[in-house]
Amino acid sequence: MIRPFGINEFLFILSAVQWTLALAAIAFAGGALGGLIVALARESQRKVPRSIALGFIRVFQGTPLLMQLFLVFFGINIFGIQINPWIAAAVALTLHASAFLGEIWRGCIEAVPKGQSEASWALGIGYYDRMRYVVLPQAARIAVAPTVGFLVQLIKGTSLASIIGFTETTRAGQIINNATFEPFTVFTIVAALYFIMCWPLSLLARHMERRFSKAAHR
């Protein structure tokens, strides 16, 4: 039975925003840890870690996020292990974020002037202390803007989790649309909610990028 779109339907979609933000937060936190490991492996002096990290990045940057969600959700089920959509989406998005943040942060590490590393070598500072006290603090400052920019993409990417049954904002919109048959109203609201979530972060990313650019030219 078709029902009209009303306040209860709107509140149902609005309540799903918390799951979008929760999924994005978990994926970003896990991706930050994984991305740091990937970035450091890419900058390692040893060939094996560099090769593994490069392979990981190529796989997850070279395949659609939708396929990664399918592979995690359905691939694990092949082995007889039941996995719910929440965990599957979190794992897939974390791996996805690790690859992209790892490459972003590798670029930021390489953007640190080479003279900084050369000076630390001259002072007898080892690789671990050089990265911890000299390179990474400077790279972190450079990485703020692109990292926030990627977070915006990650929030929007959570919408693909609807395809495996995870009820986030997009999936909630699909459910309400199936009940009301008012796609223009429903998906306009869904789009507006994504805009509200992402627009402030986009402004922050641009602000940080301009701020860094001005500081670099001083």
Taking the C-alpha atoms of residue 70 and residue 68, their distance in angstroms, rounded to an integer, is: 5
- Banded pLDDT at 81 (limits 50, 70, 90): confident
Q: Which CATH class is domain 7-216?
A: mainly alpha
Is the pLDDT at 31 greater than 90, yes or no? yes
Is the pLDDT at 1 greater than 60, yes or no? yes
Per domain, the residue ranges of the chain are 7-216
* Burial (Cβ within 10 Å: 0-12, 13-18, ≥19) of residue 83: middle
Mean pLDDT of the chain: 89
Q: What is the pLDDT at residue 198?
A: 94
Residues 197, 199, 200: CA angle, nearest 5 degrees? 85
Q: What is the pTM of this model?
A: 0.88
Which amino acid, residue 168?
E
Contact 65, 92 (CB under 8 A): yes
* Mean pLDDT for the stretch of residues 180-203: 94
Contact 198, 207 (CB under 8 A): no
Which amino acid, residue 193?
L
